[in-house]
Structures are given as C-alpha cells and as structure tokens.
Structure 1
Amino acid sequence: MINLLLIFFYLALGVVLQRVKRFPTNSYKLLNKIVIYYCLPALALYYIPKIHWNNQLLYPIGVAWIGFATSFLLFRFLGNKYGWSKKLTGCLIITAGLGNTSFLGFPIIEALYGQEGMKTAILVDQPGTFVVLSTLGILVATLYSKGEANGFQICKKIMLFPPFVTFIVACLMNVFNFDFHEWIQLMLQKIGSAVTPLALISVGLQLRFESRSQHWRFLGLGLLYKLLLMPFLIYVLYVVLLNQNSKMVEVAIMESAMAPMIAASILATAYGLKPRLSSMMIGFGIPISFVTLAFWYLVLHFI
C-alpha cells in the first residue's frame, strides 16, 4: 500500500513542480536521460543474469510485439477505410501500440508483485517494448512521415541505445552463468531503484491536459485500444487459448494494460505525427490508466 501511495505522491510532485516558476521547464529531459542511460541499464545488469531462461519467457517478451502488430493492423485498416491522413494513422499506431512498461510499469509492478514481478517486467520492457520502439516504431514513424526508411539508421539507433547494449551484455552474462560481485550488485540495485521516483516525477512534469481539441475522437480510439482492447487480446491469447495462469503471465497482462509510452509520444512528435494528439495520449492516458489497471487487477484475481 505504501508503494502505491508513493506512486501518486511522486506523480503529484511532478505536476506541482510544473507550476513552480523557478523550476526548469525542461528538467524532465534530464530525468529521462538519467532513467534511460543509468537506471534501466543497471536494472538489466542486476536482474537478467539471475533469470533462468525457458519457453515461458516468450509470454512477457511477446506482449509488446503482439500489441504493436495488432495496433498497426487495426489503425491502418481504420485509416484506409475512413480516409485518415498518414500522420494521424502513424500517430495512433505508435502511441496506442506501445505501453509505458518501464516509467510507469516498473513502479506499479514492483508495488503489486515485488522484486519477483520486476524480473518479468524487465522482459516485457527491454527485449519487448524498447526494441519494438527502436525498430518497428522508427520504421512506422519514417513511413508515415515525409522521410524515407533508412535501414542503416535503424540499426545504428538500436546498436547505440544504452539499454539495448546492456541488455545484450546481461544476456551474455546469463548464458555464461556469470554475475557481478555482491557489492557491485548492490550498487546496481541502488541505481536501478531510482527509476521509480525519477520516472514518475518526469511523467508528472510532462502531463498536459487540453480541454479544447479536435482530437477527442481519435484520443478515445487510441486509449480504448491501449487500455482495454490490447490487454483483453493478451488475456484471451495467454489465459483463455493457451491456458497460462502463472504470475509471469499475470504481470505480462498488467504490463500490456499500461498507459501509452512517453518515448513513443516523443518519437511521434519528432516525426511530425500529430504532436498535440501524441501529447494528449500521454496526458489523459496516464491518469485514466490507474482506473483501468485496477480493473484488470481485479479481473486477474477474482475472475
């Protein structure tokens, strides 16, 4: 319960800091860099060497790939049917197809499932969400903007992305059954633990609410898919069809229900894919997701 209260506290702190005149308006960028370049790699190096690999791990890893592929098919179909612009279609594919599996996902999963749940959350996020963002996300953003797809640039972005590099290193450590000395592990754990306050404060600093907008209809469609249809798809596939009921699958379903990914919104904005709608997907998606996450938690435990 204390961890859940801390989530709201740090989120509210970020919102309050928006209104402090002397507080730097772009400070969230620094926080994001700390999380991406230090906290996430530290978590990968701490958790992944300890994971015992088996076929069950395909369930959390597959969440982001299945969700993004379905988002592409759905919004491409709707875009073609109703004559949406390429930028609108691309925006919805990216922002609705990728979840906030680290910035929001890590603290929420840790609060609900503890350190054991974090091992699954890492798998959903690193070989799942951020690899999809760095490959398929960039490809879609390029195709639906005025640019041209560049295979070399895509590969470069992936290979130079710090969490990806440390993910590969951590996987090699796992394969060769190697782990760091205890004091290094403790240091990695301490650095990684900063992801919760820093990420949530960053999210709070970036929350924007636009009451007047022409994007309400598309915002509704995007959030309907991300917060309800995507976790429903994963639930039906994993629990109903494949008859999987482990804690790992439960965490994977909860991660699939997270709000839209901040980095995905940034990517869509950088490529000119409806920046205001991208911002609204984050601004409204995060607070609404707390309600829908509670719904999915109840579904998983009482149905």
Structure 2
Amino acid sequence: MSALLILFVCLALGMLCRRFVALPEGIVPGINWWVLNIALPALVLALVPKVTVDAQLWFPVAGMYVTFFGAWAVFATLGKVFSWSPHRVGCLTLVCGLGNTSFVGYPMMEALHGKAGLSIAVIADQLGCFPLLAAGGIVVASIYSGRGANLSTIARRVLTFPAFLALVAGVIVGLAGGWPEAVEKLLLQIGQTLTPLALFSVGLQFSLHLRREQIGPLVAGLGWKLLLAPLAALGIGLAAGVGGLTLTVGVLQAAMAPMISAAILADQYGLEPRLANTVLGAGILLSLVTIPVGNLFLPAG
C-alpha cells in the first residue's frame, strides 16, 4: 500500500508545484534526463540478471506489440470511417499504441506485485515498448506527418539508448552469475530514485485540455488503450496457456496509461499536440484506478 501511495503523492506534488510554485528553468528536462539515463539503466542492470528464464516471458513482450499494431489498425480504420486527418490518426496511434510501461508501469507493478512483478515489467518495457517507440514510433510519426523515416537514425537511436545497453549488459551479467551483493545494492539504491522522480515529472507535465471535438477521439483512444488492448492481450495469453504472474503483469502492462515520450514525439512531429496531451493526462489519471481494479480480476491479483 505504501508503494502505491507514492504514485498518488508524487503525482499530486508535481501537479501542485506546477500550479503554485515558481519552478527552476529546465527542471522537467533535467529530471527526465536523470530518470532515462541514470535511474532507469541502474534499475535494469539490477533487475534483469535476476530474471528467471521462463518460456512464458514472450507474452509480456508480445502484449506490447499487440497493443501498438492493434492501435495502428484500429485508428487507421476509424480514420477512414470518420474522415480523420492523417495527423489525428498518427497522434492516436502513437499515444494509445505505446504505454507508460516504465515511468508509471514500474512503480505500479512494484506496488502491486513486488520485485517479481517489476522484473517482468522491465522485460515488457525494454524488449517490447522501447523498441516500438524507437523504431515503430518514428516510422508512424514520419508517415503521418509527411516526413521520411531514416533507417540509420532508427538503428542508432535503439543501439545508443542507455536502458537498452543496460538490458544487454544485464543479460550478460545474468548469464555470468549475477552482480556481487554490494554492486547490486548500489544499483538498486540508484534505481529507486526512478519512482518518485518519474511520477513527480509526470505531475509537472500533467495536462488536460478537453474540447468538444476531441471527445470522440479521446474516448476511442482511451477505450483501446485502457480496455480493448489488455483484453486482446488477455485472450492471446489464455489461448496460449500463459498463467500466473506472467499473464497478470503482461495484461496490466498492455493496459498501462499512454506514454509521455509518445506524446512528446507527437508534439515534435506536429501530430495534434493538444489532443496528445489531453489523451495523456486523462489516461494517466484513469489508469491509477483501472489498473488496480483490473488487477483484482487477474490470476495473480
């Protein structure tokens, strides 16, 4: 309960500081830099070597791909039916196809299922969501904004991302027998800064700008991200015989709130930034309720 409480407290602190405090210039980029380049790689390095090889670990990763490509298919279809602009289709595909599986997902899974659940969440994020952001996200943004996708840029972004490098190193260390106890403890202590800082950053960036013309796309986007995507992942998992904590974490990661980085990418490519921020803000708020409730109905809940 205390770990789950941190989610609400740090998010609320960020929102309150944004509203009432004169913040230092560049505080959000600074916090995000630490989280992405120091805390997240440290946590990956600490947790990945301890992950037990399980034939079912394909499922949390597959759930991320189902969520992304399912979103692309759904919103491309809805775009034709409702005559949405390419920018709107690209916006919803990015923001509702990619989940906040690290900033919100890690602390949420740790709160609900401890370090064992967090280890599985790391696999889903690092092998599923991040490659999709770095590769698929750029392709979608390029296509729907009218720009071209550069394969060398995509490859360089994946191969130089600190958390991805930490994942590779963690796998190697795990095969070699793991870290010495002192090193593992140090990495965990650094990695533990991720939860409060990430949620505080989310609070600082929280934005909810709702307009009448956005209601349809908002409902469609969050309907896919928070309900239909996890149900699709659940159906695949049950059909394949996946069970226990692996099934639960895989489904919950598929149900996670929209990704902050995806909204930033939509903004950079001019894909309806206002809609992206609306979906992001509403999705984060709703997921703090829907994830714990959905967890109650899953095997390890």
TM, length-normalised to structure 2: 0.95
2:236 alignment counterpart: 237
One-letter identity of the residue aligned with 1:180: W
One-letter identity of the residue aligned with 1:259: A
Q: Deviations over 1:59-98 (max 9, x none)?
A: 1121211110111111112212332211111111111101
Q: Deviations over 1:88-134 (max 9, x none)?
A: 11111111101111111111111111111111010111111111100
Matched residue SS, 1:299: coil
Superposition map of 1:125-144 within 5 A: 125-144=125-144
Superposition map of 1:42-57 within 5 A: 42-57=42-57
Q: What RMSD in Å do the two structures reach over aligned CA positions? A: 1.6
One-letter identity of the residue aligned with 2:68: F
2:10 alignment counterpart: 10
2:161 alignment counterpart: 161
Aligned counterparts of 1:35 and 1:213: Cα–Cα separation in 2: 35
Q: Pick from 284, 287, 299: which aligns with 1:286? A: 284
Structure 1 residues 32 and 302: CA distance shift in structure 2, 3 A = closer
2:123 alignment counterpart: 123
Aligned counterparts of 1:122 and 1:283: Cα–Cα separation in 2: 23
Aligned counterparts of 2:139 and 2:211: Cα–Cα separation in 1: 31
Matched, 1:266 2:264: yes
Q: Deviations over 1:250-297 (max 9, x none)?
A: 111111111101011111111111100111111111111122213311
Aligned counterparts of 2:300 and 2:259: Cα–Cα separation in 1: 28
Aligned counterparts of 2:34 and 2:55: Cα–Cα separation in 1: 33
Aligned counterparts of 1:174 and 1:108: Cα–Cα separation in 2: 25
**Identity across matched positions, percent:** 37
Tell me if the contact between 1:47 and 1:119 (Cα under 8 Å) persists in the aligned partners: yes
Structure 1 residues 211 and 69: CA distance shift in structure 2, 3 A = closer
Q: Pick from 273, 276, 285: which aligns with 1:275? A: 273
Aligned counterparts of 1:26 and 1:237: Cα–Cα separation in 2: 43
Superposition map of 1:130-209 within 5 A: 130-175=130-175, 177-209=176-208
Aligned counterparts of 1:273 and 1:15: Cα–Cα separation in 2: 25
1:295 alignment counterpart: 293
Q: Deviations over 1:182-201 (max 9, x none)?
A: 21111100011111100110
Give, in angstroms, the shift of residue 2 of structure 1: 1.5
Matched residue SS, 2:296: helix
**Number of matched pairs:** 301
One-letter identity of the residue aligned with 2:263: S
1:228 alignment counterpart: 227
Aligned counterparts of 1:238 and 1:8: Cα–Cα separation in 2: 30
Q: Which moved more, 1:217-226 or 1:69-78?
A: 69-78
1:246 alignment counterpart: 244
One-letter identity of the residue aligned with 2:204: L
Aligned counterparts of 1:178 and 1:281: Cα–Cα separation in 2: 43
1:109 alignment counterpart: 109
Q: Which moved more, 1:185-194 or 1:80-89?
A: 80-89
Give, in angstroms, the shift of residue 247 of structure 1: 0.9
Query: Which ranges of structure 1 fall in alignment gaps of 5 or more residues?
Result: none
Structure 1 residues 260 and 24: CA distance shift in structure 2, 3 A = same
Tell me if the contact between 2:105 and 2:253 (Cα under 8 Å) persists in the aligned partners: yes
